[in-house]
Chains A and B, each alone.
Chain A
């Protein structure tokens, strides 16, 4: 865990400004650290180094900063934070890109659309709660042997595969003007669900067995906080680290919701 912050090439020292907050209700404050880096350093290795050497540029001993991290290869979705003003995964944020020269500055802040737990760590349970609300699963008949699943063309598989790489990191939600911070759980059912969850609804609606819950999903997404709350800013698709075609998903669900509403109007079911 206490990795060297660099691999030994292009050694230099950068200034890291870190937004800190001791708890959900504490006032945020800033601390700065001088960190030795080199080729191969990334934001996570910088944070690891600061944890092992928690002394500010003023020479003051401080607590090791709290942050989320997991796989460090951009598949687990843990380490989302705001790096120099833009939301992304910390592990794939290479220091050579942000701070090529000695003395360059790096600013790290927590996401703003989720409640801060401490320092850079935020509480994203709303995202998982919305996946549950969206019935984001295939309703199989248990785990006993019932043969293979439905056949699928390679084209359909490729479309579903990309959607299935969503790691619930929250980048698309942080960047979305319509997605708002909601600290009160009561508001989660009414506030905009955001691109990630809409895209998951599309993913499960595409699956033969998964589509048996399509109506329930579309009912959820046609109400308050549903797909019509999207303001079409298209920020989501620009920040998605997995390059998921989120705006295509929103458009697809928009069409499904419209058809669903018309059907409901005429059939009442």
Chain B
């Protein structure tokens, strides 16, 4: 539709790293963007990311590291479940993304010489993580927020903050032509036209009740796409971060950078005559009084090569198991993460942000006391299914191909945590910020090309009836919800959903327990029909918005459980005690959930993973035979990589 570009617009839903990067790139391509966000974009969940962002760099390169190595680590870390071409492209672009952020003014930590400083992170033996204190997500997001504000001042971006996405608008051909959204102040429900829509709405931690996520990370937006016909893939792969601070309202993240900077994980213990560890006689005593020989550094003992920086799924299971064996701090569900032996000045300079969080929320100084931590739900590797156009040799993606990161609904894209790419069965630390920005910058160009080459009439020419009808559906759904005057409390339903999901579908799963959870979720779905909404106001009605999202959380919860039920193997974050081995023959496949509107449940199929360059190998991180010739075990630490 040459000449129509003046009228063409793209909607981006979500103002975190992925959404902001997309808005920057798409406007740079000449297409104006309408940016929708529940919160002012500067308050998006990306601010919570702490540790850093991975990329090959000059020092690591001279030690033998490369973009290919970054790619390989990511595939191995994800237990070979990630499609390889997009990961390859991401690793290639990573150094240029760091340069760009640097130019945008991100205050990356510096060495004495003024170079960008680097730290060690999980799943790598090379320092390849760039960081800005321990608030890297906040700093990167602010840099992109500033660029979007600049585009807004120039009239290229229109922000709809305090607006919630309700549904995609699909035409009779099934292509996406806009969205329906709700103003969270006036509660107005309104349809918006768009020539393409980018979902960048993050993860679904709140489905698990307590998590490290912000309160808006309900997964409702992804669920609404899923219920409208978008495939949801690898839902059962939920990252449980090994080190979170337990709390009444949320689990606060204690960054992997704490371990990257030398933090040691241990529990009080006693070695018996045979050298085997057992519980300490006084597991609750002042940790500062426990001598070194009574400290069981279980990650260092079990993984001599990687030690405390094994990938997250492994650290989480080891911490969980050591507590199950009765060796947790005070006999309970906690272990120590110790930085207290490091100089205070260095901790404040490199980790000040997280030291402060621990001091403020726990009331103890981590420069003096080891921190008490336990795993918490953190990241969804799974999400909306997306396609891509690989290069013919599978090394990377065709730049600008309109299909890159488009869902099965034409014109509807998914960027960042909300899609299922890059991280496979387990995400490596400091790869999330990278994948979000990569999606926005690299695949933003695909959106521009799709809009420019669009064979359809522009959205401005679509008949108004399509939008009026979509508004009507959402208006009727809301009326129905408000008319329910049942005895069920929607907050209790969400709390029960969270407890059930956490118990059945996080660190250790079994088929039997997952089946019970599926039944429980069916019961919650039934009770949800009998809720009462405690506020009928049509002005800033948070209770109504929350009630809506609980229905969507139930739908996603069901998809997560059913995928986990059918995946009878253990891979990355998905550990089935009744099927403890990885089974490539049956399950080197993506799990695809499709919503069945009749039963309101997921039907699951499997689809082959695009392997490409790296053949699946055993993933041990040197636990069994550090010198067995396995790639990871055979590696020795490069000089200068660990101080």
Contact = CB atoms under 8 A, between A and B. Distances in A.
Interface in A66-105: 66-67, 69-78, 91-92, 94, 96
A75 B138 contact: yes
B164 to A, nearest CB: 14
A12 to B, nearest CB: 14
Given A51-B491, A154-B114, A210-B105, A22 B185 contact: no
Contacts of B441: 143
B480 interface: no
Contacts of A73: 48, 250, 252-253, 357, 361
Contact of A149 (B99, B139, B215, B363): B99
B61 interface: no
A167 B180 CA distance: 30
A160 B249 contact: no
A76 B43 contact: yes
A132 B43 contact: no
A148 B24 contact: no
Interface in B183-231: 185, 206, 209-210, 214-216
Contacts of B206: 1
A70 B185 CA distance: 17
Interface stretch (A117-125, A175-183, A225-233, A249-257): A117-125
B389 interface: no
B379 interface: no
Interface centre among A54, A164, A204 (most CB of B within 10 A): A164
B104 A1 contact: no
B326 interface: no
B506 interface: no
A23 interface: yes
Contacts of A132: 149, 152-153
Interface in A126-152: 128, 131-132, 135-140, 142-143, 145-149, 151-152
Nearest to B108: A157
B534 A54 contact: yes
Using C-beta atoms within 8 Å of the partner chain, give the interface range for chain B: 35 or more
B103 A76 contact: no
Interface stretch (B64-72, B120-128, B417-425, B539-547): B539-547
B537 A22 contact: yes
Given A23-B539, A71-B48, A78 B99 contact: no
B248 A3 contact: yes
A22 B540 CA distance: 9
A4 interface: yes
A194 B142 CA distance: 20
B153 A160 contact: no
Given A64-B534, A132-B153, A136-B149, A77 B252 contact: no
Interface string B11-33: 00000000000001100100000
Nearest to A48: B249
A165 interface: yes
B135 A165 contact: yes
Interface in A194-235: 204, 207, 209-210
B248 A6 contact: yes
Contacts, number: 205
A117 B534 contact: no
Nearest to A151: B114
A248 B368 CA distance: 30
A240 interface: no
B408 interface: no
A3 B543 CA distance: 15
B99 A148 contact: yes
A35 to B, nearest CB: 12
Contacts of A125: 40, 161
A117 B185 CA distance: 8
A63 interface: yes
A65 B66 CA distance: 53
Contacts of B361: 42, 73, 92, 94
Most buried by B among A38, A54, A75: A75
A209 B105 contact: yes
A168 interface: yes
User: Could you say which of B153, B540, B542 has the most chain A C-beta atoms within 10 Å of its C-beta?
Assistant: B542
A76 B110 contact: no
Nearest to A207: B105
A72 B248 contact: no
A267 interface: no
Nearest to A63: B535
A52 interface: yes
B249 A153 contact: no
A71 B214 contact: yes
B210 A3 contact: yes
Contact of B105 (A44, A61, A168, A204): A204
B157 to A, nearest CB: 11
B495 interface: yes
A63 B185 CA distance: 16
B600 interface: no
B446 to A, nearest CB: 14
Q: Which of B105, B209, B353, B494 has the most CB of A within 10 A?
A: B105
Given A125-B161, A165-B135, 19 more contacts: A3-B250, A3-B495, A40-B246, A64-B543, A69-B215, A70-B43, A71-B47, A72-B214, A72-B252, A91-B249, A92-B360, A94-B363, A118-B540, A138-B103, A138-B105, A140-B100, A148-B102, A161-B133, A167-B43
29 contacts: A3-B209, A7-B246, A7-B247, A38-B248, A44-B249, A52-B495, A63-B535, A70-B39, A72-B214, A72-B252, A75-B47, A76-B47, A121-B540, A132-B149, A135-B153, A136-B149, A138-B143, A140-B100, A147-B99, A147-B103, A152-B107, A152-B110, A154-B110, A157-B108, A157-B110, A158-B349, A161-B133, A165-B138, A165-B353
**Complex A-B, nearest 6 residue pairs according to Cβ-Cβ distance, in ascending order:** A2-B491, A52-B491, A149-B102, A137-B146, A45-B249, A138-B105
Interface of A: 1-7, 22-23, 38, 40-42, 44-45, 48, 51-52, 54, 61, 63-64, 66-67, 69-78, 91-92, 94, 96, 117-118, 121, 124-125, 128, 131-132, 135-140, 142-143, 145-149, 151-154, 157-158, 160-161, 164-165, 167-168, 204, 207, 209-210
